[in-house]
């Protein structure tokens, strides 16, 4: 089995020796001269190349023996960035896995094709909204859910801010919203949020399944990356939608953390996200157009036979921007429009306008 290869951007002076320290930190975390010879031979990371680039961070490529991941996604993350996540000036920008390891990880169970099958939408852009704000009653949320489903949205998801608060408790809310969406549109899917309490996570996923939801919204930054695959295991045929809440620490600056396409595209797809939400350009967040399109590509491109994940841009999208965004992202995208559907207090009409705008837009063929 070939190595796990990680590429890091290294900012600041002396990138070559620092790349060597990264390779040691992420594998042995012990000076090489103090490690037993068999471990040095079998399990030490090696710097393959360091390319210095004027005015830009150096690119360091490190090969790790594939066995270091132990066939597990969690340990792969520890290996790729665990301790060096604590250092400024080191940023993970690319990952290549040996096919056998990629195949051993979960990957999306449904992926784009599965979501299209569930929503009865074999082609064209897919459209979603979030039920919010927290503080609405079950009755208010159910009315909203019904209206946006009736307006033709494919996916009705809960906001990550809904948990188990007194205004709309989970056990009361989920069956009511599932029913409201079903009445609104038999092709719409409803995805409640399941939050991070480890002991209750599986219970909540199973409750959602029993209550007629079509999958769940999971926050790997809170519940852990393994929670995505776990949700898929206990909700066969259900959509697992990943939300970036509490993951942004990795992408907020350019000098540390993880490149957004690697985090929201590759890593969450490997972890089992059928669809992956990220903040698109032009909204309230700071990712660039280029970074967003790279996320979409990483979610969809061939990856050792794993199903493609559905890129789900959100965060300040609007009906007016549908043509621009559809042209840029292409139709294999779930467009998440929030507040803009609430203007004029006619969510059903707004959903219909969004559906019409997406249908009218001619997506450019992507190269």
Which CB atom, from 190 or from 201, has the smaller least distance to a copy of itself? 201
Please report where in the chains the tokens 């796990």 appear, as a residue: 4
Distance CA 14, CA 12 (A): 7
Buried b (16+ CB within 10 A) or exposed e, 140-160: ebbebbbbbbbbbbbbbbbbb
Distances (CA, A) of 353 to 178, 253, 342, 348: 23, 36, 12, 9
Residue 206 CB, nearest distance to a copy of itself (Å)? 13
Please report where in the chains the tokens 């005015």 appear, as a residue: 55
Residue 254 CB, nearest distance to a copy of itself (Å)? 9
Residue 181 CB, nearest distance to a copy of itself (Å)? 19
Which CB atom, from 12 or from 237, has the smaller least distance to a copy of itself? 12
Which CB atom, from 101 or from 326, has the smaller least distance to a copy of itself? 101
* Burial class (CB within 10 angstroms; exposed 0-12, middle 13-18, buried 19+) of 64: buried
Which CB atom, from 179 or from 340, has the smaller least distance to a copy of itself? 340
Which CB atom, from 136 or from 326, has the smaller least distance to a copy of itself? 136
Residue 201 CB, nearest distance to a copy of itself (Å)? 7
Residue 223 CB, nearest distance to a copy of itself (Å)? 5
Residue 101 CB, nearest distance to a copy of itself (Å)? 12
Residue 122 CB, nearest distance to a copy of itself (Å)? 32
Distance CA 117, CA 112 (A): 9
Which CB atom, from 102 or from 287, has the smaller least distance to a copy of itself? 287
Distance CA 220, CA 227 (A): 7
Residue 107 CB, nearest distance to a copy of itself (Å)? 15
Tell me how crowded residue 303 is: count the other CB atoms within 10 A of its CB.
Answer: 19
Distance CA 5, CA 7 (A): 7
- Tell me the angle at which helices 347-360 and 138-150 cross, rounded to the nearest 10 degrees: 30
Residue 22 contacts residue 90 (beta carbons within 8 Å): yes
Of 79, 61, 82, 87, the closest CA to residue 9 belongs to: 61
Residue 220 CB, nearest distance to a copy of itself (Å)? 8
Which CB atom, from 166 or from 302, has the smaller least distance to a copy of itself? 166
Which CB atom, from 319 or from 326, has the smaller least distance to a copy of itself? 319
Which CB atom, from 49 or from 137, has the smaller least distance to a copy of itself? 137
Residue 68 has phi, psi (to 5 degrees) of -60, -30
* Burial class (CB within 10 angstroms; exposed 0-12, middle 13-18, buried 19+) of 362: exposed
């Amino acid at each position: 089995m070939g190595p796990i290869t990680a590429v890091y951007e290294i900012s600041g002076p002396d990138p070559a020796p620092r790349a060597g320290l990264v390779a040691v930190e992420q594998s042995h975390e012990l000076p090489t001269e103090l490690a037993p010879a068999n471990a040095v031979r079998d399990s030490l990371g090696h710097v393959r190349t360091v390319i210095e680039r004027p005015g830009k961070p150096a690119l360091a490529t490190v090969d790790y023996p594939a066995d270091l991941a132990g066939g597990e996604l969690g340990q792969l993350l520890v290996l790729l960035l665990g301790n060096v996540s604590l250092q400024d000036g080191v940023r993970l920008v690319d990952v290549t896995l040996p096919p056998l390891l990629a195949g051993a990880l979960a990957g999306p169970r449904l992926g784009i094709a599965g979501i299209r099958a569930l929503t009865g939408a074999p082609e064209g852009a897919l459209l979603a909204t979030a039920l919010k704000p927290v503080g609405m009653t079950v009755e208010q949320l159910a009315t909203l859910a019904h209206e946006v489903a009736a307006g033709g949205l494919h996916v009705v998801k809960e906001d990550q801010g809904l948990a188990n608060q007194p205004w709309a408790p989970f056990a009361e809310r989920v069956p009511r919203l599932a029913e409201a969406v079903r009445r609104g549109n038999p092709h719409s899917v409803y995805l409640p949020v399941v939050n991070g309490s480890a002991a209750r996570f599986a219970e909540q996923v199973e409750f959602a399944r029993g209550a007629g939801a079509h999958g769940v919204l999971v926050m790997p930054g809170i519940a852990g990356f393994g929670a995505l695959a776990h949700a898929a295991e206990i909700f066969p045929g259900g959509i697992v939608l990943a939300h970036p809440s509490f993951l942004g620490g990795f992408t907020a600056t350019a000098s540390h953390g993880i490149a957004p396409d690697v985090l929201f595209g590759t890593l969450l797809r490997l972890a089992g996200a059928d669809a992956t939400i990220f903040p698109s350009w032009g909204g309230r967040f700071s990712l660039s157009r280029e970074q967003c399109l790279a996320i979409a590509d990483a979610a969809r491109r061939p990856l050792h036979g794993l199903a493609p994940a559905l890129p789900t841009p959100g965060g300040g999208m609007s009906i007016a921007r549908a043509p621009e965004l559809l042209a840029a992202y292409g139709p294999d995208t779930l467009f998440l429009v929030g507040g803009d559907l609430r203007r004029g207090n006619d969510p059903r009409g707004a959903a219909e306008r969004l559906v019409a705008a997406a249908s009218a837009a001619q997506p450019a063929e992507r190269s």
